[in-house]
Amino acid sequence: MSPKRGDRVAPPAGASAWELRFATTEAVKGWEALCQQAPANTLTTWHELRARPDTPVPTTRHHQLKGSLATAAHSGVVMEQWQYEVTAGGRIWYLVDTARRTLWIKAAGTRHPKATD
Q: What is the pLDDT of residues 6-65, one digit of tens each?
A: 777 888 888 889 999 999 999 999 999 999 999 999 999 999 999 999 999 999 999 999
Give me the count of residues in the chain: 117
Angle between helices 39-50 and 25-37 (to 10 degrees): 130
Per-domain residue ranges for the chain?
19-52+73-111
* Higher local confidence (pLDDT), 2 or 51: 51
Q: How far apart are CA 115 and CA 117, in angstroms?
A: 6
User: CB of 48 within 8 A of CB of 84?
Assistant: yes
**Dihedral sign for Cα atoms in the order 98, 99, 103, 107:** negative
Minimal CA–CA distance to 82: which of 97, 70, 74? 70
| pTM summary value | 0.91
Q: What is the CATH number of domain 19-52+73-111?
A: 3.30.2310.20
